[in-house]
Amino acid sequence: MSIAVNPEILIWARQSAGFDVENAARKLGFGDSSKSTAAEKLAAMEAGEKQPTRNQLAKFANVYKRPLITFYLAEPPKTGERGQDFRQTPDARGQRDNGMLDALLRDVKARQELVRDILLDEEDFEAPDFVGSADIGLGVGKVVEMISNALAFDHTDISLRKGDASALFGRLRAAAEDAGVFVLVLGDLGHHTLSIGADVFRGFAIADPVAPFVVINAKDARPARAFTLIHELAHVFLGQTGVSGSVSTEQPTTDNAKIERFCNDVAGEFLLPEGYFRKGGVKFGANDIEAARGCIDLIASRWSVSEPMVAYRFQRTGELTSGAYQTLRQEYHQRWLANVKKEKAKQKENNSGPSGYVIKYHNLGHALVDVVQRNIKERNLTHTNAARLLGAKAISIPGFLNFVESVRRKNVQGNGHVS
């Protein structure tokens, strides 16, 4: 049975997902025949010469990452907003990459709105008071102080920097979630073949006064996540919803670029506070890469941050030239890529790696899982909506929540608190 669908909807959905006709036809499962190619079959539907069946519409919805009901609209909806796009040259990314990013943003925004509604229905809920409480005029130092106070984390206390950069991210993430921010680590649209690289986005923030969200790209280096988290928190404190990209050393020329530089400086000052992190450091010339490398390694280890983070800090203070910084940054990036490749090969050889539940729990964070678990127990949330929030199938929800409960019991038994 055919469905009356406005062909303009099909064209809009494909283009906004970043597909050309040939790629879309292949993804949708169209095949060549003696009369027409797969691409020609899709083009006929987009021209209104042929209507899709119900099953084909379901495939459109799945491949284009749109709700099925979208294809029944009378006309294409207005383009969804990313908020402010703080990335340098966002249009330089391919249509496919930006289409996937927009699909991820729609998915997260839908989850955020559902969480917001749930929280507002909870009698003892108290919204965080810091969303939109800052502005650039306050200066970097004051905004850093505000974030430090909200997280109850003294950014100048080196004794809190035990472990590596990933351990620091874990502590800062837990502090942000305790303060009322939902922190997710996402880098694809539900499957590894639909991954979104860190060159497309590093993170984004939804500065909602009830349920602020921060999303960090899972495809980015783990040591860089603490920097991205504080950067996105700065956007939340500034009351700005938007997408952020890679760190740039270029002189900002637009308002968005100036805001992005400010948030980078907030993250830099929070993670490596002026007057503290240099103590005992080695002096080096602004172009002396060899000496700088030794000093950077020492500081990164002491303060549990990434080497690129330290190099960026030195570039911003003028102690490293932009050229020396870019050389070191590229060196660290290549080393990270080599380590990722080595780790993947090791896991493949040993047939090891974390389970799907472990990865999902890490990516979603305690705060979001807590909302689901609490409201499932109180029967305020259906398994269907729980699945929407967790990005999973409804049938898997009981098993996943049982896994979470077992992990928390082990944590309580092991160290007296839930991690």
pLDDT of residue 419: 40
| φ and ψ at residue 62, rounded to 5 degrees | -70, -45
pLDDT of residue 91: 55
Residue 349 CB coordination number (10 Å)? 8
CA distances from 282 to 286, 289, 292, 326 (A): 12, 13, 8, 20
**Is the predicted pLDDT of residue 299 greater than 60, yes or no?**
yes
pLDDT at 416: 45
Q: Which two tokens stand for residue 38?
A: 């797969």
DSSP code per residue over 94-136 = -HHHHHHHHHHHHHHHHHHHHHHHHHHT-TT----S-TT---G
Using pLDDT thresholds of 50, 70 and 90, give the confidence band for residue 360. very high
Q: What count of Cα atoms within 13 Å lies in the side-chain half-sphere of residue 377?
A: 9
Going by pLDDT thresholds of 50, 70 and 90, the confidence category of residue 199 is confident
Is the per-residue pLDDT at 394 higher than 50? yes
**pLDDT of res. 156:** 95
Q: At what angle do helices 397-415 and 383-390 cross, to 10 degrees?
A: 70
Average pLDDT over residues 103-117: 90
* Residue 58 predicted with pLDDT over 50: yes
**In angstroms, rounded to a whole number, what is the distance separating the alpha carbons of residues 178 and 180?**
5
Q: How far apart are CA 137 and CA 270, in angstroms?
A: 18
DSSP designation for 269: H
Highest mean pLDDT among 113-127, 238-252, 332-346: 113-127
Q: Name residue, tokens 């979630």.
A: 177
> Max Cα separation, the chain?
76
Is residue 216 within 8 Å of 225, Cβ to Cβ?
A: yes
Contact 371, 118 (CB under 8 A): yes
Q: Helix count (H) and strand count (E) of the chain? A: 15, 5
Q: What is the DSSP letter of 18?
A: T
Q: What is the pLDDT of residue 89?
A: 60
Q: Is 379 helix (H, G, I), strand (E, B) or coil?
A: coil
Asked whether the predicted pLDDT for residue 78 surpasses 70, the reply is no
| Residue 380: partners with Cβ closer than 8 Å, 6 or more residues away | 118, 121
pLDDT per position as a tens digit, 207-266? 999 999 999 999 888 989 999 999 999 999 999 999 998 877 777 778 888 999 999 999
pLDDT for residue 193 is more than 80: no
Strands of 84-85's sheet in order across: 84-85, 242-244, 203-206, 213-217, 182-186
- Whether residue 12 contacts residue 76, with contact meaning beta carbons closer than 8 Å, is answered with yes
Q: What pLDDT score does 289 carry?
A: 94
Q: CA distances (Å), 121 to each of 25, 87, 210, 365, 374, in order?
A: 44, 36, 12, 21, 13
Q: What distance lies between CA 130 and its chain's CA centroid?
A: 21
Mean pLDDT of the region 326-351: 85
Q: How confident is the model at residue 151 (pLDDT cuts 50, 70, 90)?
A: very high
User: If phi over 0 gives left and psi between -120 and 50 gives alpha, with beta otherwise, what is residue 331?
Assistant: alpha
Q: Which of 169 and 93 is assigned the larger pLDDT?
A: 169
Partnered with residue 2 across adjacent β-strands are 53
* Residue 1: predicted pLDDT: 44
- The pTM of the full predicted model, rounded to 2 decimals, is 0.80
E-assigned strands of 278-344?
Answer: none
Across residues 110-139, what is the average pLDDT?
94
Pick from 182, 57, 196, 204: which is nearest to 128 by CA?
182
Residue 253, pLDDT score: 77
81 pLDDT higher than 70 = no
Least confident of 43-47, 87-91, 98-102, 120-124: 87-91
Confidence of residue 37 (pLDDT cuts 50, 70, 90): very high
